[in-house]
Chains A and B, each alone.
Chain A
Amino acid sequence: MMETRSISLGNLLFQMELPAFERLGAYLDALRRALRGSDGAEDIVKEVEYRMAELFQDALAGVSRALQLDDVERVCAQLGDPSDFRDEGDGDDPSQSRRRAGDEGQQRGRRRWYRDPDERVLAGVASGIAYRFGVDPIVIRALFIALVVFTGTGFLFYLILAAIMPVAKTASDRLAMKGDPVTLASIIDSMESQIRARGSGQADRPWAQRWRNFVSQTLPEALQALGKVVLWTLLSIAILSVLVLGAFILSTALGFNGFF
């Protein structure tokens, strides 16, 4: 004799043996946890319940019996681990995916901070930042050189950024760096340009491509992006001057006058 529970799943009535009932509950709980914060989580859970009801119906094949643990295990295996339900295109930050869902249509995704291993001069920091703000790397490199020449802190700043920013290793990292949504077409695009760059084996190829990018997409965005860069530079200059001022005050307070 085995105690059973009766449940309603997808508007259908099922009798379940107790272990089966508990396993199903645990699976659905784990699924809710895995989906927490992602787009349409409620809808997905509902649809999974309906799918399970359908699969249980198939398993019973019209026979009137209680569902057993085996039946539930089989259905869970078919649906996959709750972690499989997480959409990798969603990224790891749920608030970000929600924000993106609020945008209309297929916009360019949010660009992330990555060092660019393909078009680097030193560690790829400038190229990575250039992608982040949608400007030509030349602009960022000029800013870094200006910082080095005029304030002397540019190199330290560069080193810190190089330490903080991860390298864009995989194709999807590169796409995140460039702000392209990770879709088939964009991955193929990036594969193609990599294949082409490798096949030609010439250094001028990426430059030509970069120039084309600059003319076709960067330029229209340039005004807005430049505004951001200026803001960003002013902010870093402000921070630096506060630091320098602080050091100055500290050194005078300590009576160390030889420096200035």
Chain B
Amino acid sequence: MSVVFLVALVFGTLDSKDTKTGAERAAALASTIACPQCSGQPVSESSAPIAQVIRAEIKEQVDQGLSDSEIKGIYIQRYGEWVSLNPSSKGFDSIVWIAPFLIIGIALGGVTLAYSRRKSDSQGIELTKDEEEKVLAMRTAFEEESHSSQSSED
């Protein structure tokens, strides 16, 4: 089964087009540049004339061969940093990218700590292998039964 999975995944991934067409690049860029008059909407999603003009401009710039960062730079220079909807990954702004992972890491760490502390604190009664299996079988049977009557799941 895992073979099928890997084959399908790898095939599906590699078979996709590597480079985007010009139009696709322009569309992708357009979704990261804010329309200056529209309270935060990207130019790809605004029907304001200024947004239409910027979209056309971006397409031209892509055709002229400018890179993504160059194109973004043009608008940032014209209007200010806020026109880029993707916060930068350098400097102070990178906090917004890093903080979530940091927080989840801390939370996972805290949970693991609490769990291992509990494990070492508890004085478990040692069951023999047989007893363990018996308990497990009982519990499984109980689980199936309670699934069927669903009394506690109301």
Q: Do A and B bind each other?
A: no
Interface residues of B (CB under 8 A from A): none
